[in-house]
Amino acid sequence: MNPSSLKKIWLSNIRGDVLAGLVVALALIPEAIAFSIIAGVDPKVGLYASFSMAVVIAFAGGRPGMISAATGAMALVMVTLVKDHGLQYLLVATLLTGVLQIGAGLLKDALKRFLQAQSIIAARALVVHAKDDQAVEFYRHFGFVPSPLDRYHLYLMTKDVQECLA
C-alpha cells in the first residue's frame, strides 16, 4: 500500500470514527470496571485490559459490528480461577482462549476449503490417520468412523462435514 491509499483509508470517515470511539469508550469503562469486580480482580486490571484490547483492534483492524470487549459469561467463569490460582492464571487463560478461538476459525476455514476442493476432485470423505488408541477415541468422539481395513485410519463423510458447517 502506498501512503496516499493509507491516508485515504484512515482519514475517510473521521467524524464517524471519532463518534464510534467515544461511544465505545463511554460503554467500555463501566463495563470493564463491573466485570473486573465480578471476576474478583482490581478494576484497574480491567481498565488496562479493555484499553489494550481497543488499541490492538484499532491498529490491527476490526470489522463493522465486531464486539471486542469482555463478556459477563467470561467474568463469571474467571471468578473461581482467580480465587483458586491468583491473577497470573487469568492472563494465561485469556491467551489460551484467544488461541482456541483462532484455532477454531482456522479449522472452519480449512474445512470450507476442503468442501470446495472435494467437489473438484470428487473426494467423498475426510480421512485421518490416528497415531494411537487415544487419538482414535478422540476422532471417534467427533464422528469419525474407523476404516474396516485399519483401525487407525478413520474417515468422516463430506456430507457430515457440510452439515456441521451449515
127: pLDDT strictly greater than 80: yes
The reply to whether 127 falls in a domain is no
Q: Is residue 41 part of a domain?
A: yes
Q: For residue range 43-70, what is the model confidence (pLDDT) as tens digits?
A: 888 888 888 877 777 777 766 666 666 6
Lowest mean pLDDT among 23-27, 43-47, 132-136: 23-27
Residue at 91 is within a domain: no
Q: How far is CA 57 from CA 3, 33, 76, 100, in A?
A: 21, 20, 24, 18
Q: What is the mean predicted confidence (pLDDT) over 79-86? A: 83
Query: Is 67 a member of any domain?
Result: yes
Structural domain including 7 reads: 1-86
The candidate with the shortest Cα–Cα distance to 166, out of 108, 126, 118, is 108
Residue 23 lies in a domain: yes
117 part of a folded domain: no
Task: Please state, for a pLDDT cut of 70, what percent of the chain lies above it.
Answer: 93
Residue 1 pLDDT > 70? no
Whether 72 is covered by a domain: the verdict is yes
pTM of the full structure: 0.58
The answer to whether residue 134 is domain-embedded is no
